[in-house]
Amino acid sequence: MTSTTPAAIQPFGARLTAALRARGPLCVGVDPHPSLLTAWGLGDDVAGLERFTRTTVEALADRVAVVKPQSAFFERFGSRGIAVLERAVADARAAGALVLMDAKRGDIGSTMAAYAAAYLDPSGPLCSDALTVSPYLGFGSLRPALDTARAHGAGVFVLALTSNPEGAEVQRAVGSDGVSVAQAVLDRIAAENAADAAAQTAPLGAVGAVLGATLARAGVEVPAGVPLLAPGIGAQGATAADLPALFGSAAGQVVPSVSRGVLRHGPSVPALRSAAARFCDEARSALGTV
């Protein structure tokens, strides 16, 4: 597989930068959780899933920079749920949003290559602009996803320091060199971006990190140019106003992510749009972006 990005496709970091500048610094999750389906007056079935998803995409995909479908909430309905997800990805991209597939895939060899083909190759119906991946089978296990993303101008967000309590036993573990696992992941991400000649002119690299906004960069140093997906805004307790203190000099690299904080305002399209606009304005103000 080629390791260069086709000339006609901008690297993901450049597209992400442009989207954030044009639409504001916000990623909104598409998380059809059973409790949200119920709150919207929908059934916890494929019909409810489809209505929820179409409404969310209609309300937000033409105005927010990034939408982030959580694959698990679609997978639980089997092939019919995946069909809804395929339609959502296509519709959101057609409306101008970048689609970040939140699937947290992590495996080895041909299996990781198959995941990469499913989510990052334009020939696949689930092809997205970026994919979340887990490096905890070893960072090298991500090579098929990293190479496929680079070949097609896509992005990868690698789990580095997540907000779930269980993550600390692995992510904060310290090796014999005194470096934490999370820091080692961030350093490998930086090396990947440095090796991508096609992306050198973009302010952000194509390989990003997931850093929970409730934990931020506690105990780690974030390399310049690494886009930082920061989930946890809203229902998990973090606010946009927290971002500068949490991320320090890396605040300009942050993509704040909110899900339930916006989605709980459905099924009203105007209410969903208003909630997203409010979070986006708060993030703009906090991060000092125009």
Residue bearing tokens 């409730």: 214
**How many other C-beta atoms can be found within 10 angstroms of the C-beta atom of residue 41?**
10
Q: State the Cα–Cα distance between residues 34 and 44, nearest whole angstrom.
A: 6
Q: State the Cα–Cα distance between residues 223 and 193, nearest whole angstrom.
A: 10
In Å, how far from its chain's centre is CA 24?
A: 15
Radius of gyration of the chain (CA): 18
Q: Is 269 left (phi over 0), alpha (psi -120 to 50) or beta?
A: alpha
68 is catalytic: no
- In total, the chain counts a number of residues equal to 290
**How many other C-beta atoms can be found within 10 angstroms of the C-beta atom of residue 91?**
17
> One of 54, 93, 104, 264 is an active-site residue; which one?
104
**How many other C-beta atoms can be found within 10 angstroms of the C-beta atom of residue 76?**
12
Structure tokens at 43: 């059934």
Bridge partner residues of 158 (DSSP): 133, 209
Phi and psi dihedrals of 223, rounded to 5? -65, 150
Bridge partner residues of 194 (DSSP): none
| Structure letter (DSSP) for residue 223 | P
> Among positive and negative, which fits the CA dihedral 183, 188, 191, 192?
negative
Structure tokens at 135: 């490096």
Active site residues: 104
